[in-house]
Amino acid sequence: MTRTIETGRCNVPALGFGTWQLQGSDAYDCVRVALEVGYRHLDTAQMYDNEEEVGRALRDSDLDRDDVFVTTKVSHRNAAPADVAASTHASLDRLGTDHVDLLLLHWPSDVAPLEATLEAMTRLRDEHKSRHIGVSNFPSQALEQAAGLAPIVTNQVEHHPYLAIDAIEDVADEHDLFVTAYSPLARGRVNDDALLREIADARGCTPAQVVLAWMLQRGVAAIPKSGTPERIAQNHQASDITLSDDELARIRGLDEGLRLIDPPFAPAWD
Ligand SMILES: NC(=O)c1ccc[n+]([C@@H]2O[C@H](COP(=O)([O-])OP(=O)(O)OC[C@H]3O[C@@H](n4cnc5c(N)ncnc54)[C@H](OP(=O)(O)O)[C@@H]3O)[C@@H](O)[C@H]2O)c1
């Protein structure tokens, strides 16, 4: 089963394949596997240094370009309007495509006013270089501001059972945006969790699949990464799992405010 998130502005396959830290032939091979096992949404970024391999893997697959939702991200260092345009054109060249489906600003940036950055991204959308635009790593107030400035469709943020994002979800609901969860498997930690393992064992699945099902059922897009073909396939099958209300609530109870991605240039979080 393929789950799709539909908002007023955008339809997106809810489960995407994350590619951070996959490089060179690993990136190429894993994206080929991901497409073979059914992913139709790929997540890359200028900062990941793998756009070329991601694009080549997509072109070498049997799929039409239009069958796959491709996201890339403008680095916060390229947030000045001229750099937004130039770096996006360079991303498209590396990806070997004339457009992406979603162009995100990777992090809030102090290189240029947000309005100017989003204007440059909106222009790229109007020129059909990206079907949609959005932001990433925006706390709730900054998200509110961005949603008032430009037709963004998502905020891609860290989210897993140990990190709830209620304030961001509230703003997203208010503006008909979807949330994309990065590091949805808490970078592998979910595998060692007693509760998630108990639910998984009872259902004959894996803790990672339980967590991804928990995201998809709540209408949150998730972009797990794996460099292991078996796990790439297993994770994708999470779309077939439907958890009970009780299971959903018990997983929600795991929140402990654990943030795993917090570089020096990160904003003040909610
Ligand atoms: N916007 C941003 O600033 C931002 C930041 C971080 C990440 N992201 C995006 O989100 C994607 C995912 O995040 P992430 O890579 O940080 O973390 P993640 O997807 O939560 O976790 C990846 C880790 O979990 C392991 N794993 C994967 N499937 C597993 C399974 N079924 N059972 C046990 N372990 C499993 C992987 O190991 P193996 O590879 O060995 O399987 C890897 O170590 C990234 O690739 C990137 O596309 C975006």
CATH code, domain carrying 82 = 3.20.20.100
Q: What is the CA(116)–ligand 1 centre distance, in A?
A: 32
Is the C-beta atom of 206 inside 6 A of ligand 1?
A: yes
For all residues of the chain together, what is the average pLDDT? 98
Is the C-beta atom of 231 inside 6 A of ligand 1?
A: yes
Does residue 258 belong to any structural domain of this protein?
no
DSSP character at residue 212: H
How many domains are there within the chain?
A: 1
Confidence of residue 131 (pLDDT cuts 50, 70, 90): very high
Mean pLDDT, rounded, for 173-183:
98
Does residue 231 belong to any structural domain of this protein?
yes
Please report, rounded to a whole number, the percentage of residues in the chain having pLDDT higher than 90: 99
Does residue 33 belong to any structural domain of this protein?
yes
Does residue 238 belong to any structural domain of this protein?
yes
Query: Pocket of ligand 1, candidates 138, 182, 236: which has the most ligand atoms within 8 Å of its Cβ, to mutate?
Result: 182
**Angstrom distances, CA of residue 154 to CA of 39, 144, 193, 233:** 19, 12, 29, 25
Does residue 257 belong to any structural domain of this protein?
no
Domain of 59 in residue numbering reads as 4-252
Does residue 78 belong to any structural domain of this protein?
yes
Closest by CA to 31, choosing from 249, 223, 237, 198, is 223
Confidence of residue 74 (pLDDT cuts 50, 70, 90): very high
Does residue 264 belong to any structural domain of this protein?
no
Say which residues have a Cβ less than 8 Å from residue 17's Cβ, sequence separation at least 6.
30, 31, 34, 39, 41, 42, 43, 223, 224, 225, 232
Is the C-beta atom of 155 inside 6 A of ligand 1?
A: no
Say which residues have a Cβ less than 8 Å from residue 128's Cβ, sequence separation at least 6.
98, 99
pLDDT of residue 1: 79
Is the C-beta atom of 209 inside 6 A of ligand 1?
A: no
The pTM (predicted TM-score) of the whole model is: 0.98
48 is catalytic: yes
Does residue 265 belong to any structural domain of this protein?
no
pLDDT of residue 2: 84
pLDDT of residue 235: 98
| Residue 175 predicted with pLDDT over 90 | yes
| Residue 92 predicted with pLDDT over 90 | yes
DSSP character at residue 160: B
**Angstrom distances, CA of residue 138 to CA of 37, 50, 105, 194, 244:** 32, 24, 9, 31, 31
